[in-house]
Amino acid sequence: MKGRQIILDQLNNREAAALMVDGKLSDFLIEGDAPRPGTIYRAIADRPMKGQGGMFLSTPDGNVFLRQVKGLAPGQALLVQVTGYAEEGKAIPVTQKVLFKSRFAIVTPDAPGLNVSRSIRDDDLRDELKGIAHDVMGDSNMGLILRSSCANADADEIAEDIAAMLDLAEAVLADAEGPAEKLTDGDGPHLLAWREWVEPAGVVTEDKAFEFNGVLDALDELDVAKVRLPGGAYMFVEQTRALIAVDVNTGNDTSPAAGLQANIAAAKDLPRQCRIRGYGGQITIDVAPMPKKDRRTFETALRGALKADGIETVMAGWTPLGHFELQRKRDRLVTAELLK
């Protein structure tokens, strides 16, 4: 099926959302058991982690870990926000820089100023959006970022969204003192789909929507590490205890350009594979053989794919053995483990 579909359903008694683009699973979100990214706690400082520059904090959901701690004493209360999921056996990562994020607006208490997404380049539209922001924010000393989704949105919807996030931010910040407590939950899959998948799409919410729209068939493919690529090439995307291993192969193509073509195809599809599989952390790519002069072309293709992906990923670079390494934010749980 051509076009974009956002499909909302339940899977294994878990809330889930799928984004299908031209009949292919482009993104997938499913509820986990751990605290969601975006959750805000009033936490209590517990004990410092010497040598790592961080501190464990106590919350109603267990210990969390805050990096780059300065001037924080045990027993002190502070507001923190979950930034992602923890590796097995480790504490949940949090930050003191809390954000209040919705479809059109992000309220930034620690970063004053009104800003409009750089992807909105029309000067008249930018001025109009800034006017809406000034009207709603008033004399608030909090910051605001208007997201790219504002470009095609109704002015009243944008204003309502800003006001809702501002009200939430003010309520949370006013509740900073007291014992450990969860103050807000992060968004679940259905809300995240509304918040992040903003390009025009049909929305399907009917009973058994995943079954009738090809989502279940697409999820079955996640049990297989082998991913077929254009031109007969393929790659294996596998999770190990230490990292995500990606092995790119040219298949039966023995032409001089086969290695570069396979690597470019892998670079373009790898972010999607990580999204739908829920993979994050260290990623090591064993590229197909290609001349060193072609490495920059591969990096350009990968950088473009990651930019469109939207999940924070650092391109660490080449190893002495010729592998390419990435560090990807763990903002999802592994899909296969939640489907068991």
Largest CA distance in the chain: 67
> Using one digit for the tens of pLDDT, what is the confidence trace for 14-54?
999 999 999 999 999 999 999 999 999 999 999 888 767 78
Considering the domain 224-338, what is its CATH architecture? 3-Layer(aba) Sandwich (3.40)
> 3-state class of 30 per DSSP?
strand
> Using one digit for the tens of pLDDT, what is the confidence trace for 187-224?
999 999 999 999 999 999 999 999 999 999 999 999 99
Task: Report yes or no: 242 and 87 within 8 Å, Cβ to Cβ.
Answer: no
Distance CA 41, CA 59 (A): 7
> 3-state class of 264 per DSSP?
helix
Average pLDDT across the chain, whole number: 95
Quote the pTM value.
0.92
Q: What is the pLDDT of residue 53?
A: 75
Q: What is the pLDDT of residue 70?
A: 79
CATH number of 40-98: 2.40.50.140
Structural domain boundaries in the chain: 4-31+195-215, 40-98, 100-176, 224-338
Distance CA 147, CA 39 (A): 21
Distance CA 64, CA 217 (A): 37
